[in-house]
Amino acid sequence: MEAKTLPYLQAVIYEGLRIHPPFTGLLCKKVPPEGDTYDGKFIPGGTRIAHSTWSIMRNKQVFGEDVEVFRPERWLGIDDARRTTMERTVDLAFGYGRWACAGKTVSFMELNKFYVELLRHFDFQLVNPTQPWHSVNQGFFLQKDMWVKVTER
């Protein structure tokens, strides 16, 4: 069985990338010299524009009202059009078009392999499941007060 065929694993991977995108800063680009039009507004050539990955991953119109919650189930039992919209939105964390990350495919392959092997060989248990833990973003995410007991299977 291939990891890509496991719906819940795929939901966990996409939800993890959504809630903790690999890059949270602004992805800046420069408008071509001739300018461009977006949403009916002209943007002069040479203007630097950007999108906030963090904000895009918390779009309630795409992901629902509980965007601050890690909930892989949001990816299950939905129609194909909604899933495609959600996946394409998460894919923006890797850039788009000619600026897209060349390693995106390898990243997904490694995430699938990593989680399957990790869960095959180890059990995980929160040391204090009732204690809240906190995420700190310093260009990448760090979890504070999230102690986990890991035992070999």
Q: Binding site membership for heme: which residues? A: 101
140, two tokens? 């990448």
Nearest to 86 by CA among 54, 109, 55, 56: 56
Cβ distance 68 to 58 under 8 Å?
Answer: yes
Q: Binding site membership: which residues? A: 101
First to last CA, the chain: 21
Sign of CA dihedral 141, 55, 90, 65: positive
